[in-house]
Chain A
Amino acid sequence: MKLITAIIRPFKLDDVRGALTEVGVSGITVTEVKGFGRQKGHTELYRGAEYVVDFLPKLKVECAVTDAMLEAALEAVQTNAGTGKVGDGKIFVTAIEQVVRIRTGELDADAL
């Protein structure tokens, strides 16, 4: 099992969610986050005071998938979150040791 953590542009969420559902992902967790990468921030000017805003708003999408689904899920995120411009985000994949469904106590793949 793998955990996919994708940092994406906020307005791409609906596309990504739709594509992940199509490849069989049954649940995702979304968090509003701020951060910076290669995309430059912007400046804000309030009368004489100019501030450089480095941290841009992004969404962090997390979903757990079986090893068999991983390729399809990555493909779904990459094609649907991309615009081709700097600032599209990144995808991190990490291994999951164990999954438990709280309601039933089912384990691992059964719990996804």
Chain B
Amino acid sequence: MKTRFFSGWKTRMQAMCLAALCGLMMAGFATAAFAQDTPPAATTTADAASTVPEAADDATAAEQEAVAEPAAPAPAISKPDTVWVLVSAALVIFMTLPGLALFYGGLVRSKNVLSILIQNLVVFSLVAVLWALYGYSLAFTEGTPFIGGFDRVFAHGLDAAAIGATFTKGVYIPELAFFVFQGAFACITCALIIGAFAERVKFAGVLLFTTLWFTFAYLPMAHMVWFFPGPDAFTDTAAVDGVLARSGFLFKKGALDFAGGTVVHINAAIAGLVGAYVIGKRTGYGREAIKPHNLTQTMVGASILWVGWFGFNAGSALEAGGVAAIAFVNTFLATAAAVVTWTFVEWTFKRKPSLLGAASGAVAGLVAITPAAGFVGLNGALAIGAIAGVLSLWGVSGLKKLLGADDSLDVFGVHGVGGITGALLTGVFAAPSLGGSGIWDYVTETALPDYDIAGQVWIQAQGVLTTIVVSGVVALVAFLIVKYTIGLRVSEESEREGLDITSHGETAYEV
């Protein structure tokens, strides 16, 4: 006899398995939290602390001598920098909720808007939990050049007293501020991907994929690009090789990625593109009109993204100083330039300037300036934005036809094309001869005198290629695992009726 209870057994099993998984992780978290009584071993924090005396500038040294007995004081937290990083973290969280959710929500049909909103909210929250359990540790503690270690697993040692490095010797912020700022990055990266397979994906499939991809693609990429033992470790020229050996693979190569062009945007875009191929096209794609249901929502979302991005880019300076200011202004200008070029090119070649085009141009400009934000001058930012606006327009039209995948919300066309454009052009416009800041030497605390544009672009290209390979391979394996276990796609009947009612049991609009 098929009762109502047994008819939904498969869904129930999936939900129960997921709940059990979360429960286990929470239990481990609690155990570890209670067990922590010793301070963590070698981390950024420890290195920073041990090198403070050498790093202290003359004034501080003089002050210390004046004081009767310099009993090696604990490094002080910079309060203004702490404020800036915490505010920036909140701005980055605001980018996903509600910025990205609204941007994506407006682009789908009205029968699927709630599915997009809940995917944003739950993916964000799932990644935040995973970030505390093991994500932060694997991304930002010392391990191999490809992945971090386990010192901070289950938030071990992450308390109000833990200090984290910035990009200046002797300047510190609470490690928790860095933890939440970077956690917000991980959350938005995973949320970006869902746009590629919107309107047909199974909710449980999204969650399992997110867990796998976050663990095996996001964390290694973040470690490879961003992890280094902190500026204090660069005590003299002799120490440089040793410090770089402990840093991430791409950091060591000298790849420039200020706020996540590779780690966030190219990474997410490649995963999305692979997902669009594996899951297949939406039912009716190419035959029926699949139109955005509310471009007003999309415009509001894009605007929130722009505002939040000031935290994303300028916050990545980790200090409230000149670098933050230039990253802020570059985020302002590159975005505007991309809106202008996208609009005029669309107007010229496709007859009408569209709001969706202008809003997409804004996002393309934001994506493109991300890796360059603190490294290029204002003219460089304008150029990067202008070029990205045109190339991303091609990304969502000509290139999209060539690729042949139904990337529903153009995650690859905007974030992939804009991200690759920005990553490569960072190598060009970071050149001091073109108004950029050049490569920073942490030993002398000046920019290196020589800058080789072609060489740097090649290093940037290696960063892009590494991201494509890591994200592409991990995403393919992860999507196939999901497809052949719990399933990646809803039934055609459910897709026709809409995910809001069939997957979530609710509707967005009562008319």
Contacts and interface: CB of A to CB of B under 8 A. Distances in A.
Contacts of A48: 396-398, 400-401, 410, 413
Contacts of B398: 48
A49 B290 contact: yes
Contacts of B400: 48
A47 B360 contact: yes
- Chain B interface size range: 10 to 19
A45 B358 CA distance: 13
Contacts of A44: 289, 291
Contacts of A47: 356-357, 360, 396-397, 410, 413
Nearest to A43: B351
Interface string A59-90: 00000000000000000000000000000000
Query: SS class of chain A's interface: helix, strand, loop or mixed?
Result: strand
Contacts of B396: 47-48
Contacts of B350: 45
Contacts, number: 28
B354 interface: yes
A11 interface: no
A106 to B, nearest CB: 36
B352 interface: yes
B75 interface: no
B217 to A, nearest CB: 27
Interface in B3-51: none
A91 to B, nearest CB: 31
Nearest to A52: B289
B53 interface: no
B475 to A, nearest CB: 23
B292 interface: yes
Interface string A37-50: 00000001111110
19 contacts: A44-B289, A44-B291, A45-B351, A45-B352, A45-B354, A46-B292, A46-B354, A47-B356, A47-B360, A47-B396, A48-B396, A48-B398, A48-B400, A48-B401, A48-B410, A48-B413, A49-B290, A51-B289, A51-B291
Interface of B: 289-292, 350-352, 354, 356-357, 360, 396-398, 400-401, 410, 413
What 9 A-B pairs have minimum CB-CB distances, sorted nearest first?
A48-B397, A47-B396, A51-B289, A48-B396, A48-B400, A46-B356, A45-B350, A46-B292, A47-B410
Interface of A: 44-49, 51, 53
